[in-house]
Structure formats: structure tokens, C-alpha cells
């Protein structure tokens, strides 16, 4: 039952995360990435605080656990997400999503090194097949490649993977809503002064109704809902299993691109989608028990 619930949380997570590559483009067109990050966390913190109050309030954080929350908030929710937004602003949404799908490889390696989790052949096959599908969908075709955008996206992958593995050490002690709330509150503390610096010294923001609506969507669904479900999934499943679902993210981005931007479905899209689904199905296959 716990595994089924974990899979459901992962599906919700990656649908939400896949959508933000399309939706955030509307906000990033007139606002800087740090400012977009500040807006999404300001709303998300309020949402998560209300949810936590309804669930009975927060549990006292043990002193030795604050370092993991600081890693989650500082490296994961702040630096990693800002780099992700910066990469999305400089690259096409498809390419940014493709680079982000490297998370399974990095998370699996880090989980094996720091959490001593075993990487099975089933995991390897799932990753390889799914990433081949991602490449077929998004890796072909003409697209401008911005070097700084690629570096931002790769940096985001590394930092988010590190934060995901780190939070596993305390995910069993606290409600995932509380974990997400504290992590995002820490990120917001860094975001506010960084947004001021961005608007004064780097680039000014000119928010429109569409851009603010995009920020609201990203805050509620792409941040509050998605990160709560992600932390809950990490609580129910190991980090390597959670990483298997990352190829769904660019698939969702591609589908929403077709629906919202009227892109044409090509044969390569169909082939890639089949491979991605096959890679995810592999994670559901039973493992032969040892006597």
C-alpha cells in the first residue's frame, strides 16, 4: 500500500514539475529568475503553513536536524531552483527539461555513495530506456543552445540531487508538509534580498497579469503541491526508485507544449513516449525474491 501511495505522489509531482517549464516562460519573459523564485515561495509558504495548521501544527525540530533543512532550503529550494529558472530563461523549455532529466543518474549515484542504497539492473534498464525516450522526443531538432543556460541547468541538477539525498536522512521524523515549509521558508529568507539585488543592479521586472498568474500557478502546483508530494514519496520509497520517474517530467512538458502552444506531434514523439512509459513500467515489475 505504501509503495502504491508513493507512486501516486511521484506521478503528481512530475506532472506539476513538467508543467512549470511551459508556464514559467510567461513569467520569465518579463521578470528575472530570482524574482520569480521569490514570488513562488512567498505564496507557497503561506499555502504550506495553512495545510500544516490543518494537520495539527509543526513538530519541534531536533537541533542536529537543522543542518539538513539548511541544505534543503539553501542548496535545494534556493540555489538549485534559481539555477533551474535561469536555465529555463536562457534555453528552450524542452532543452531545460531534457537536462533536468539527468537527475535519475545523479540521484542514484549519490544515494549509492551516501545512503548505501543498491543500484539494481532493473534501475539501470529503466533509466537507460527512459532517457533514450527523452532524447528521441526532445534531443532532436533545431534549438539554440546557450552555454550559460546549460551550465545553470546542470548546476541545478547536481544541487537538487544532493538536497534530495540529504533530506532522506530526516524524512522519517517529520511530516513532509513541515519539511517542505521549513525548506521553502529558508529559501525565501535568501530570495528576498537576492531579488532586491537583481531588480536594482541586474535587470528590472515588469510583471503583467499573465506573468503574475504564471507565478501563482508555479507557486501552488509547481512548488507547494509538487514539493510536498516529492518529500512524501521520499519518505515512502528509496531515493533511487523516486529518481526513476524523472523522465516523466519532460514528457509532460512536451504534451503541454502540444496542448498549449499547438506544437505538432511527430513520429519521434510517439516512439519516445512509448519508451518513457516502458521505462516507468519496469519499476513496477516484481523483483524475484531470494530464498
- The C-alpha atoms of residue 26 and residue 215 are separated, in whole angstroms, by 9
Q: What is the pLDDT of residue 212?
A: 92
Q: What is the mean pLDDT of residues 116-123?
A: 73
Per-chain mean pLDDT for the chain: 82
Grid cell, residue 246, equals: 524523472
How many other C-beta atoms lie within 10 A of the C-beta of residue 2? 9
Q: What is the pLDDT of residue 290?
A: 46
Long-range contacts, stretch 96-99, CB < 8 angstroms, 24+ apart: 96/21, 96/149, 96/153, 97/18, 97/21, 97/138, 97/249, 97/250, 97/253, 97/254, 98/134, 98/135, 98/138, 98/139, 98/250, 99/150, 99/153, 99/154, 99/157
Q: How remote is the C-alpha of 254 from its chain's centroid?
A: 16
Grid cell, residue 230, equals: 516529492
pLDDT confidence of 291, banded at 50, 70, 90? very low
Counting DSSP H helices and E strands in the chain, the numbers are: 14, 0
pLDDT confidence of 109, banded at 50, 70, 90? confident
pTM: 0.78
**For 264, which DSSP code?**
P
Contact 230, 107 (CB under 8 A): no
Q: What is the pLDDT of residues 51-79, one digit of tens each?
A: 888 888 888 999 999 999 999 999 999 99
The residues, any chain, with a CB within 8 Å of residue 64's CB and separated by 6 or more, are none
Q: What is the pLDDT of residue 138?
A: 62
Of 136-150, 165-179, 253-267, where does the model show the most confidence? 165-179
pLDDT at 197 over 70: yes
Q: What is the mean pLDDT of residues 71-96?
A: 88
- The C-alpha atoms of residue 116 and residue 109 are separated, in whole angstroms, by 10
State phi, psi for 33 to the nearest 5 degrees.
-60, -35
Q: Where are the domains of the chain?
A: 2-118+144-241
Q: What is the pLDDT of residues 237-281, one digit of tens each?
A: 877 677 778 778 888 887 887 788 676 667 776 787 778 767 766
pLDDT confidence of 154, banded at 50, 70, 90? confident
Grid cell, residue 78, equals: 534556493
Q: What is the pLDDT of residue 139?
A: 62
Amino acid at each position: 500500500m505504501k509503495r502504491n501511495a508513493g507512486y501516486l505522489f511521484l506521478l503528481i509531482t512530475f506532472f506539476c514539475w513538467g508543467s512549470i517549464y511551459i508556464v514559467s516562460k510567461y513569467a520569465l519573459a518579463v521578470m528575472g529568475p530570482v524574482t520569480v523564485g521569490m514570488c513562488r515561495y512567498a505564496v507557497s509558504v503561506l499555502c504550506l503553513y495553512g495545510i500544516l495548521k490543518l494537520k495539527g501544527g509543526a513538530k519541534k525540530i531536533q537541533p542536529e536536524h537543522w543542518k539538513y533543512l539548511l541544505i534543503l532550503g539553501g542548496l535545494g529550494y534556493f540555489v538549485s531552483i534559481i539555477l533551474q529558472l535561469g536555465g529555463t530563461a536562457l534555453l528552450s523549455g524542452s532543452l531545460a527539461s531534457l537536462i533536468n532529466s539527468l537527475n535519475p543518474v545523479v540521484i542514484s549515484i549519490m544515494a549509492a555513495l551516501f545512503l548505501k542504497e543498491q543500484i539494481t539492473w532493473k534501475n539501470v534498464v529503466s533509466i537507460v530506456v527512459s532517457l533514450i525516450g527523452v532524447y528521441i522526443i526532445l534531443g532532436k531538432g533545431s534549438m539554440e543552445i546557450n552555454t550559460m543556460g546549460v551550465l545553470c541547468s546542470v548546476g541545478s541538477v547536481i544541487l537538487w540531487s544532493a538536497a534530495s539525498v540529504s533530506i532522506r536522512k530526516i524524512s522519517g521524523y517529520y511530516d513532509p508538509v513541515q519539511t517542505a515549509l521549513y525548506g521553502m521558508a529558508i529559501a525565501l529568507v535568501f530570495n528576498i534580498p537576492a531579488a532586491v539585488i537583481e531588480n536594482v543592479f541586474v535587470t528590472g521586472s515588469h510583471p503583467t497579469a499573465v506573468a503574475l498568474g504564471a507565478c501563482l500557478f508555479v507557486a501552488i502546483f509547481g512548488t507547494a503541491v509538487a514539493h510536498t508530494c516529492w518529500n512524501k514519496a521520499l519518505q515512502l520509497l528509496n531515493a533511487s526508485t523516486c529518481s526513476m520517474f524523472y523522465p516523466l517530467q519532460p514528457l509532460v512538458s512536451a504534451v503541454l507544449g502540444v496542448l498549449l502552444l499547438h506544437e505538432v506531434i511527430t513520429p519521434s514523439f510517439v516512439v519516445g513516449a512509448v519508451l518513457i512509459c516502458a521505462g516507468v513500467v519496469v519499476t513496477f515489475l516484481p523483483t524475484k525474491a531470494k530464498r
